[in-house]
Structure 1
Amino acid sequence: MFNRKNKGPEPVAPANLFTVNEPSSVIAEQVKTIRTNVSFAQQAQSLRTIMVTSAMASEGKSIVTANLAVEFAQAGKRVVLIDADLRRSTVNRTFRIREVNRGLTNYLVRQIDDITEVCHPTMVENLAVIPSGPTPPNPAELIGSPLMATVFDQLKQYFDLIIVDAPPILPVTDGQILSNMVDGVILVVRQNYTDKRAVVDTKERLEQAQANILGVVLNDVRSEGHSGYYNNGDGYYGYEYSEKK
């Protein structure tokens, strides 16, 4: 329903979608590993909604989220990626969505009644995205509204997996609110950047929200003789999986 229609040449994916541009690269292979581990958790816990977040901004969580969504779609899942970072949206740029003023906030403020009207097809088969939409004055209130739960309920009718690009946990409350609405949470931590205390505080806040923490993605890992991903080298993602007891 939301697949891209054939309208001329396939668009070129932005560089940060390396799962599309460089599917055999080391980084893409690491994302496949993350997808595999999350799939194991899905089978064990029947996960339909997964949120990706970080402690602070600039840890790479949006890039991880976008590429993970691509990987699941390429594996045959019907996937929708929601940009719930209403203050600092990136999904529209990553997937080159032109209608940036038709997104999640339009639904949450009742300008649009049908959630499918804010689902945009992408250059990746089986993958649709919902941009954040116009920036609201009250992001946390919108995220915490009953309509946000309705978003998930409605999307489950059309998609196998809902992936949420959430705001970082410590600066704002939005991510913590969302973490209680989804089936599982993945935390992105940037090596040699994220303060250890911040990671501990983030874990505590997620636990306070009774979030199901699936695992941690260690981003910008530096292999010997190479620079990290953010320096356009050959850094890669690590993944640490923890099954909820």
Structure 2
Amino acid sequence: MRRSANNPKLIMNINRRSPISEGYRNVRTNIQFSSWKHKLQVMAVTSTQAGEGKTTTISNLAVSYAQEGKRVLLIDADLRHPSVQDIFHLTNSTGLSNILAYQCSADEVIRVTDIDHLSIITAGPIPPNPTELLSSGRLHEIVESWKGDYDIILIDTSPIMAVADGIIVASICDGVILVVQAGKVKQEYIQKSKERLEHVKAHIIGVVINKKKLNKSESNQYNYYSHRE
């Protein structure tokens, strides 16, 4: 059954002509230009700490790709504080944690919304051992199996500085986007997040600066995307 995705946070779905939506399209375009050297089919979106807007960013990015006609799978791999289900008005009784624990198949938890081409796997019940589940190798195995069914796979992760979960997920992805809330995070923490990602050889493709205060000349922009080779 399709569920309504008319959430104010999903600006890409409710107002495609807004300046904010244009910002997300700019992020998508920059990702596409950055993929000429590296195939970017599986991407993680993370942040240094909680509350920086990573889930809102990845959800709108997923909608942006779907509106382009891409077959998109959005996975909530933040097994400690999942929130994708709230944005898309989905139940979270079963999800990724069940798949990782071999309690059900992927077909049983893939959800659809009223957005064409977009499928979602919520995080599922919060497990007692999220790091162990994510590092077991099962996630990499099932993501590889989904590559033939989807053009783009986007994975929401736990913040980098909080626990090791985000690093584990990033290590199996083709690229990682770091969301940073302007004025909230110390520069040294951002640098440590970058170093942790590089330590596992994660490919950082860019940074999205969220909630940046704009002057009048920047009023048509919402996200600033910093490309990194």
- TM class by smaller structure: over 0.9
Q: Are 2:139 and 1:153 equivalent residues in the alignment?
A: no
Alignment-derived partner of residue 35 in structure 1: 28
Contact 1:115/1:154, CA 8 A, preserved across alignment: no
Q: Deviations over 1:96-142 (max 9, x none)?
A: 113x1120011111111x32221100121000110000100001111
Partner of 1:106: 98
1:72 aligns with 2:65: yes
Written as runs of structure 1 = structure 2, the 5 A alignment for 1:132-171 is 132-171=123-162
Separation (CA, whole Å) in 1 of partners of 2:122 and 2:129 = 17
Question: Structure 1 residue 234: deviation in Å?
Answer: 8.5
Cα shift at 1:44? 3.0
2:227 corresponds in structure 1 to: 241
Give ranges in structure 1 of 5+ residues lacking alignment. Answer: 226-232
Question: TM-score scaled by structure 2?
Answer: 0.95
Shift of 1:157: 2.2
Q: How far is 1:151 from its partner?
A: 1.8
| Deviation per residue, 1:67-97 (Å, 9 max, x gap) | 0000001001100000000011011111111
Q: How many residues are aligned here?
A: 228
| Residues 114-123 or 187-196, more deviating | 114-123
Q: Name the CA distance, whole Å, in 1 between partners of 2:5 and 2:38.
A: 36
Residues 18-67 of structure 1 deviation map (CA, whole Å, 9 limit, x = unaligned): 00111111111000000001112234311110000000000001100000
Q: Give 2:18's aligned residue.
A: 25
Query: RMSD of the TM alignment (CA)?
Result: 1.8
- Residue aligned with 1:13, SS: coil
Q: Tell me whether 1:187 sits opposite 2:173 in the alignment.
A: no
**Distance across 2 between alignment mates of 1:207 and 1:13:** 37
Moved over 6 A (4+): none
Secondary structure of 2:9's partner? coil
Q: Check whether the contact 1:50–1:183 (CA below 8 A) recurs between aligned residues.
A: yes
Contact 1:42 1:48 in 2 (8 A): no
The equivalent of 1:229 in structure 2 is none
Q: Tell me the TM-score normalized by structure 1.
A: 0.89
The percentage of aligned residue pairs carrying the same residue is 37
State how far apart, in whole Å, the 2-side matches of 1:75 and 1:18 are.
Answer: 15
Q: Is the 8 A contact 1:105 1:134 kept in 2?
A: yes
Check if 1:50 corresponds to 2:43. Answer: yes
**Partner AA of 1:32 in structure 2:** R
- Tell me the equivalent position of 1:216: 207
Moved more, 36-45 or 64-73: 36-45
Q: Which protein, 1 or 2, shows the higher relative CO under an 8 Å CA cutoff with sep ≥ 6?
A: 2
The alpha-carbon deviation at position 146 of structure 1 amounts to 1.4
**Aligned partners of 1:85 and 1:167 also within 8 Å:** yes
- List runs of 5+ in structure 2 lacking aligned partners: none
In 1, Cα distance between equivalents of 2:131 and 2:221: 34
Partner of 1:130: 121
